[in-house]
Structure 1
Amino acid sequence: MIPRKSLYPSFKVLIVDDEEPFIRSLSIALERSAGINNLTRCQDSREVMGILAQGGFGLVLLDLNMPWLSGDKLLSSIIEEHPEVGVIIISGINQIEPAVRCMKLGAYDYFVKTNEEDRLVLGVNRAIQMVEMSKEHKEIRSRLLHDRLENPEAFEEILTGDKAMRAVFQYLESVAKSAMPILITGESGVGKELFAHTAHRLSGVEGPLVSINVAGLDDNVFSDTLFGHAPGAFTSAHGVRKGMVEQAAQGTLFLDEIGDLSVTSQVKLLRLIQNGEYYPLGNDRPKRMNARIVVATNQDLDKKQAKGEFRKDLYYRLCAHHVHIPPLRERKGDIPLLLNHFLGEAADALGKKRPTYPRELETLLANYPFPGNVRELQAMAHDAVSTHKAKMLSLDAFKRKIGSMTLPAHDHDARDVPEDESVFVSSKSLPSVHDVTDLLVTEAMKRADGNQSIASRLIGISQPALSKRLKKMKQGD
């Protein structure tokens, strides 16, 4: 008996036909060619509605011509009583009129019983994906509407109090059980691997999480790593090697840095996702993939597509579910939470007492754009704890790491303003240099919470120069 967790799809597929040999043949074809094994069989059309009433069904493969109740009548009943269940008509009649009638009633697709087995399997697989997407969208809307997480413990490793991050959690929880790939994007250091581990835990699969960083792998190494090889496949292949796809059976295959994958390797990955089959090197018999795929990148795949460096068809396959992690500078409220965690983590690792830190530290960090994101903050905290000796943590270690905050902050802001736009309003006269300087100093002091040392770093001048300017402004007032 197949373990419950290895069933695909997540919902049941009901096959209804009065001919038992056809049901058996179709069941074998669906499992062999597409891994579809969550099947329920029914030869008596009078039992269909009772079976569906038990729940858990997402798709019905329905014969049109049967004794007792015809497929037409059953189709109308299913659409009326179970509108969430998709229906594919499979008929022995190759006529347009019945097909048009069934499509008007609400059937998802119509196939004729022929020897075109591959076409039928592709149609069923396509319908399964549509039903899965529909269910996931409903689940996402429900979770966002009620602002809930069913499995908050799965996110314990990701420290945040940010609303945007919570929305990402809700989305990931909604799509984690899907058999479709999940694409995780975000800048370097935001924690994409943590999200991949979380997606694996939420998926409920019984197999392992197998991770591969594909950056720098040439095509041959990529193929051997993913698909494995048979003895004699190449000179040094003395035995059988199981590829990562096989090692991830019943689990999750996580491909990190997918944006660095060569175009040749992209083609092989696309075929794996499309067909669910792969060939170990030196073996002419295909193996079926029995793992879900999660990929991650810190690169802009849209730009890589425009340059011809990433295939569009692969991108559309991978982003069936897209999880984007916001950078740390867009969720500054998380900085104190993360800082306290990393300081405690560093103190435990170094066998030191957890240090306290001055209030100015949070202000200093809140005004830094963190190009390295959470990973950079962690490194700062560990470095500061490793060198501190007094009870109060010194700001010097953080200031050394940060350096001048003017250039990084300016670079980030410049990306937000299009080249043909201005920070000034064209309908108003330009302010004087004196006025602009006063405005800049005022804003810096506001962001620095009145701390002159931090404010001077924000605008790239010395603290004495800032102090002198503030005195002039006060005298002017």
Structure 2
Amino acid sequence: MKSIAYPAHPVLVVDDDTISLAITHAALRKAGLNNIMTCTDSRQVMALVSQHTVGMVFLDLVMPFTGGEELLETLSRDYPEILVIILTATEEVDTAVRCIKAGAFNYLTKPIDFERLFSTVKNALALQELQQENRALRQSAFSVSLSHPEIFANIITHNPRILQIFHYVESIATTSEPVLITGETGVGKDLIAQAIHALSRRQGPLVAVNVAGLDDTIFSDTLFGHLKGAFTSAERARKGLIEQANSGTLFLDEIGDLTAVSQSKLLRLLQGGDYFPLGSDVPKHSDARIVSATNQDLWRLTKEEKFRKDLNFRLRTHHINIPPLRERLDDIPLLVEHFLAEAATQFGKPGFQASKALLTLLGEYDFPGNIRELRT
């Protein structure tokens, strides 16, 4: 099966030393990237960049024909959106300063230190994600109105940050890349996942599962299904959730709690869309879009070696962070009014308004459980 390209825009590695080139390529693969182009002839760089939508360039500084500094100057002038990371054999401060001034995003010294390369790639992809978000927001600024406000009708807000998220959701919903939704418990991550699916134009269903507390066997059976006889109690074959979500969206909640073995299986699915039902050695393929959510800091878990770096990269091709209620106090009166009206309807009671004193008191509380806590 054809592997899904990551990142979406290829990374170009330019180095006349084939051994050094292979080492850098292997390090990028180890970091979770597979959309990588290589070039040993500096004269071909600009042609490659013009033919492909390159997002990042690893550029050796000392090369025959056209030197790295000359190429950096040309790339910075003609393709300012491309992030250039300089590769140099010696850590010379003057060289680094000169390259940064010329437009380089960062520089790495040879031999390549994997942790520094990983950190540089992480920061570069985060910057590109932010730039993508800013472009989407600038485009939405031309139209204050949402294209599909009805999709967000069940999310009660008039907070500018949440409205920006709505615009961003509209801009990415029809793509096929994974989305990671982060935020504290109770902020409404599931509602954003529902909105992404509703706007996606996908014909299949939205299938949701909370993966917290699932060991590898249960996770695999739940997600990938099993064949008849795969284990003692498997009296008949069962489709997994990923097959049920085909042509639709699979929403994995509490992704930060996934076990190491399950993380490896999910990564394989994200890389090529392939998976194995329990008891089968024949892979199946899914085109379901993966949306995940967590209230944990995946970068912290990665640093603690509790979460795979490459999987973290894959999951956050698009990233949405929902602010907690204490950072959007302007929404509290609107939410209280909505919940009171909802309760009045449910219990057949006349509606009533919250006093200013109550709203003031609520505004002084931190709400660690966010909207879910306010509702209860």
Please indicate the TM-score interval, normalised by the length of the shorter structure: 0.5 to 0.7
Q: Equivalences for 1:23-422 in 2 at 5 Å?
A: 33-34=2-3, 100=44, 103=47, 106-108=50-52, 138-144=135-141, 146-379=143-376
Q: Structure 1: how far apart are the matches of 2:184 and 2:49?
A: 48
Which structure carries more relative contact order (alpha carbon 8 Å, separation 6+)?
2
> CA contact under 8 A between 2:137 and 2:164: conserved in structure 1?
no
Paired residue secondary structure (2:281): coil
Instruction: For 1:283 and 1:109, locate their aligned partners in 2 and report how far apart those are by CA, in whole Å.
Output: 39
Aligned counterparts of 2:295 and 2:165: Cα–Cα separation in 1:
17
CA contact (8 A) 2:133 2:168 kept: no
- 1: CA distance, partners of 2:367 / 2:134: 34
Does the C-alpha gap of structure 1 residues 137 and 241 become closer, same or farther in structure 2, counting only changes over 3 Å?
Answer: farther
Aligned-pair CA distance for 1:318: 0.4
Displacement of 1:102 in angstroms is 7.9
- Where does the alignment leave 5 or more consecutive residues of structure 2 unmatched? 10-38, 55-128
Note the C-alpha offset of 1:240: 1.0
Which one has a bigger Cα radius of gyration? 1
Structure 1: unaligned runs, 5 residues or longer: 1-31, 37-57, 60-94, 111-132, 380-477
More helix by percentage: 1
Give how far 1:105 is off.
7.2
Alignment partner of 2:161: what SS? helix
Distance 1:138 1:362, change over 3 A: closer
Residue type matched to 1:315 in 2? Answer: N
Please tell me the residue identity of whatever aligns with 2:323: P
Whole-angstrom distance in 2 between the partners of 1:224 and 1:359: 52
How far did 1:232 drift?
Answer: 1.0
Give the Cα separation in 1 of the matches to 2:299 and 2:133.
Answer: 25
Deviation at 1:344? 0.8
8 A contact 1:144–1:167 mirrored in 2: no
- Could you tell me the percent identity over the aligned residues? 51
Equivalent-residue separation in structure 2 for 1:372 and 1:137 (angstroms)? 29
Deviation at 1:35, TM superposition (A): 8.6
Native 8 Å contact 1:248 1:291 kept in 2:
yes
* Separation in 1, partners of 2:261, 2:40: 43
Q: CA separation of 1:331/1:100 partners in 2, compared to 1, >3 Å: closer, same or farther? A: same
Q: Secondary structure at the match of 1:222?
A: helix
The change in CA–CA distance for 1:165 and 1:109 in structure 2 (over 3 A counts) is closer
1:210 alignment partner, SS class: strand
Secondary structure in structure 1 of the residue aligned to 2:51: coil
Aligned equivalent of 1:452: none
- Separation of aligned partners in 2, 1:376 and 1:334: 14
CA distance in 2, matches of 1:252, 1:325: 20
The TM-score with structure 1 as length reference comes to 0.53
Q: CA deviation at 1:266?
A: 0.8
Q: Residue 258 of structure 1 contacts residue 297 of structure 1 at CA under 8 Å; is this kept in 2?
A: yes
Report how far residue 135 of structure 1 moved.
Answer: 8.3
The letter for the 2-side match of 1:224 is: D
Equivalents in 2 of 1:197, 1:109: separation in Å? 31
Partner SS for 2:319: strand
Query: What's the offset of the Cα at 1:357?
Result: 3.0
Asked if the contact 1:214–1:256 (Cα under 8 Å) also holds between the matched residues in 2, the reply is yes
Q: In structure 1, give the amino acid aligned to 2:249.
A: T
In structure 2, how many angstroms separate the alpha carbons of the residues matched to 1:289 and 1:151? 28
Deviations 1:392-447, CA, capped at 9 Å, x for gaps: xxxxxxxxxxxxxxxxxxxxxxxxxxxxxxxxxxxxxxxxxxxxxxxxxxxxxxxx
Cα RMSD after superposing both structures: 2.9
Tell me the SS of whatever aligns to 1:205.
coil
CA deviation profile, 1:313-363 (whole Å, cap 9, x unmatched): 111100111111111111111001000000011111112111233221111
CA contact (8 A) 1:190 1:328 kept: yes
CA distance in 1, matches of 2:141, 2:297: 27
